[in-house]
Amino acid sequence: MTKPQDKLRGSAAARRAILAGLRFTSLRLRLVLVFGLVALTAAVAASGIAYWLNREAVLTRAQDAALNDFQQEMQNRAGALPMHPTQAELQHTAGQMATSSQHFSVLLIATDENGGTVVGNSDLDTFTLQDVPAALRAAVNKEQRVTSSNKSAYHMYWQRIVDHDTPYLVGGARVIGGGPTGYMLKSLEPEAKDLNSLAWSLGIATGLALIGAALLAQAAATTVLKPVHRLGAAAKRLGEGKLDTRLRVSGTDELAELSRTFNRTAESLEKRVADMSARDEASRRFVADMSHELRTPLTAITAVTEVLEEELDAETGSVDPMIEPAVRLVVSETRRLNDLVENLMEVTRFDAGTARLVLDEVDLADNITACIDARAWLDAVDLDAERGIVARVDPRRLDVILANLIGNALKHGGSPVRVAVRTDDDDVVIEVRDHGPGIPEDVLPHVFDRFYKASASRPRSEGSGLGLSIALENAHIHGGEITAANSPEGGAVFTLRLPRDASTLMDGDDETEDSGTDSSGDGQEGAR
């Protein structure tokens, strides 16, 4: 049955994958969008200008033709009417004027001999005076002063209107010298249809331009992003440690220069890493050689100090009381030096990668009890572990880890030290908690550092400063981890997490490594 945590982890992984996909294509999308917006803006602007220019040209041409024809008809036909025509004369003349090539409707208005208004309409009731805007009628009938620049008291005026979604052109004029007033109405629907066709054509052209811009942007993005993707893949390989990674350089553009810069950087990094590796290897070899060279004289010195210690403990009192403190100092310092050499040899094994696991099935409760009993810590340590919790680990290395953690807690935290064992899925978790003042916050990140001293005023101490570092390396070789923290109730808590079966980490051999050291209890010297 799927756990809620697994579902949450799965959904979070899916979200991360989607975001990673969006990040991967974001630059391509931005390029396509920018190209598309530029193309759309340019196409819309060009289409709008073209439509506006063509619209004005079409309407102006139709308008000028109709108005010129109407003005000509007004002069020739309406101007030939008497000053006070009859309704029949107006009707006949309006019909003749409507036969013009422009096919407009004509409305003539005049006064008869009795002063009454007579109207002549070419299309009967389809075009009446109510169809003419009031402002146009007022402008046509307005008498203007005749001057040197204005030769006529009346002028022709026009206006575009829309009636029932159909555009029309309305024009009006009076006969110069007196006579009827004429109005014309011409439909602009054919021109409107032509303009609609033009608008559709320009819209299709804009769409095609947008599609072309998107294809061009896709091609440009591919051209630009392919070197970027190669650069990203090369950088990833470089980050994975493949320092011989290089890019193929072609061309002289900015991307080519970027590839050259990457190659120069990778070459410089490879050289620096090679130099650092050589120096590191030389340092490790020096420490290893020095440790091995020191073991021989240390063995002789240790034997001598053991004899001196036996003399000190003998009841005969053969050692001069004046030099007894010096002898005891030599004995303790010799032991400390011996422990330091053993620790350095253990560290060099980890650094050289020669440390190996010798696995066995162990009961954790029995292993921890044996570790405590061997160091006479039974009275100072409370063990909370059920028998039957079995793990496949290296017993000697587990003993080194426990000895360092418990010894460190006793030395710096104070008893009682509580050791608790529990299982967590496929892992075993061992917590070592003391009741001391805890670890200062600025020291917590460094408790596993080699030779770290929390106080500069205490550069010398009983331990070598390598215990916790060696414990952490032993946890890592098992595929586990050690963390340090402060308990809310007070005291420090070290948590060891190991897989229940470390055999999956083996390289397929059961090689037995050199004997190590327990370094018990000296890893956090001066840290608390």
Question: Given this model, what pLDDT does residue 256 score?
Answer: 82
Is residue 77 domain-resident? no
Question: Strand (E) positions, 215-311?
Answer: none
**DSSP reduced 3-state for 305:** helix
Reading the block at residue 527, the tokens are 């840290």
Whether residue 423 sits in one domain with residue 291: no
pLDDT at residue 18, rounded to an integer: 52
Query: Mean pLDDT, to the nearest integer, of 123-128?
Result: 74
pLDDT at 122: 83
Question: Is it the case that residue 115 has pLDDT exceeding 60?
Answer: yes
Do residues 361 and 463 both lie within one domain? yes
CA–CA gap between residue 194 and residue 201 (Å, rounded): 11
Question: Is the per-residue pLDDT at 114 higher than 70?
Answer: yes
Does 450 lie in the same domain as 371? yes
Average pLDDT for residues 362-383, to the nearest whole number? Answer: 89
**pLDDT recorded at residue 512:** 41
Q: What is the model's pTM? A: 0.45
Q: Which of 4-18, 171-185, 485-499 reaches the highest mean pLDDT?
A: 485-499
**Residue 304 belongs to what domain range?**
254-332
> Does one domain contain both 307 and 433?
no
Whether residue 355 contacts residue 386, with contact meaning beta carbons closer than 8 Å, is answered with no
Q: Given a cut of 60, is residue 381 above it in pLDDT?
A: yes
Contact 496, 429 (CB under 8 A): yes
Least reliable range by pLDDT among 195-199, 298-302, 472-476: 298-302
CATH number at residue 433: 3.30.565.10
Q: Which residue has the higher pLDDT, 7 or 367?
A: 367
pLDDT at 432: 93
DSSP state of 416: P
433 lies in some domain: yes
Give the distance, in angstroms, between the CA of residue 43 and the centroid of all CA atoms in the same chain.
33
| Cβ atoms within 10 Å, residue 61 | 11
**DSSP annotation of 129:** G
Same domain, 399 and 495: yes
Is 249 within the bounds of a domain? no
Q: What are 60's two structure tokens?
A: 């102006």
> What is the distance between the alpha carbons of residues 400 and 516, in angstroms, rounded to a whole number?
9
| Same domain, residue pair 369 and 315 | no
524 burial (CB, 10 Å; 0-12 / 13-18 / 19+) is: buried
Amino acid in the structure at residue 498 = L
Q: Is residue 121 part of a domain?
A: no
- Predicted local distance difference test score (pLDDT) of residue 463: 55
* 415 pLDDT above the threshold of 80: no
- pLDDT one-digit tens code per residue, 333-343: 777 777 767 76
The SS3 call for residue 353 is coil
Res 459 pLDDT > 50:
no
Name which of 353, 356, 447, 448 is nearest 397 in CA terms.
Answer: 356
Which residue has 């010129």 as its token pair?
A: 68
pLDDT of residue 39: 80
Residue 292 shares a structural domain with residue 421: no
Tens-digit pLDDT profile for residues 133-170 = 888 888 888 888 878 787 787 888 889 888 888 888 89
pLDDT of 437 > 80? The answer is: yes
The span from the CA of 323 to the CA of 346, in Å, is 35
Beta-carbon contacts of residue 312 (< 8 Å; ≥ 6 apart)? 319, 324, 327, 328, 331
* Separation between Cα atoms, residue 168 and residue 173, nearest integer Å: 17
Is 218 domain-assigned? no
Please tell me the distance from the alpha carbon of residue 22 to that of residue 12, in angstroms, as a whole number. Answer: 15
Q: Does residue 289 fall inside a structural domain? A: yes
> What's the gap between Cα 270 and its chain centre?
29
pLDDT at 280 over 80: no
Domain count along the chain: 2
Does residue 286 form part of some domain?
A: yes
Q: Are residues 301 and 362 in the same domain?
A: no
Share of the chain above pLDDT 90, in %: 7
Contact 181, 174 (CB under 8 A): yes
**How far apart (Å, rounded) are the C-alpha atoms in residues 332 and 525?**
17
Q: Output the pLDDT for position 315.
A: 56
**Inter-CA distances, 15 with 7, 126, 464, Å:** 12, 70, 48
Backbone angles phi, psi at 400, to 5 degrees: -65, -45
Residues 363 and 421 in one domain: yes
CA torsion, points 412, 413, 419, 425, in degrees to nearest 10?
-90
Angle, helix 324-352 to helix 467-477, in steps of 10 degrees = 30
Cβ 499 vs Cβ 478: under 8 Å: yes
Rounded to the nearest integer, the mean pLDDT of the chain is: 78
For 79, what's the count of Cα atoms within 13 Å in the CB-facing half-sphere? 11
Say whether both 260 and 384 belong to one domain: no
What tens digit of pLDDT does each residue of 284-338 get? Answer: 676 667 666 777 787 777 777 777 777 776 655 566 677 777 877 877 777 777 7
Question: Taking the alpha carbons of 98, 100, 103, 107 in that order, is the dihedral positive or negative?
Answer: negative
Tell whether 287 and 365 lie within a shared domain: no
Residue 475 and residue 372 in one domain: yes
Is 283 within a domain? yes
**Cα distance between residue 354 and residue 340, in whole Å:** 19
pLDDT of residue 458: 43
Note the pLDDT of residue 16: 57
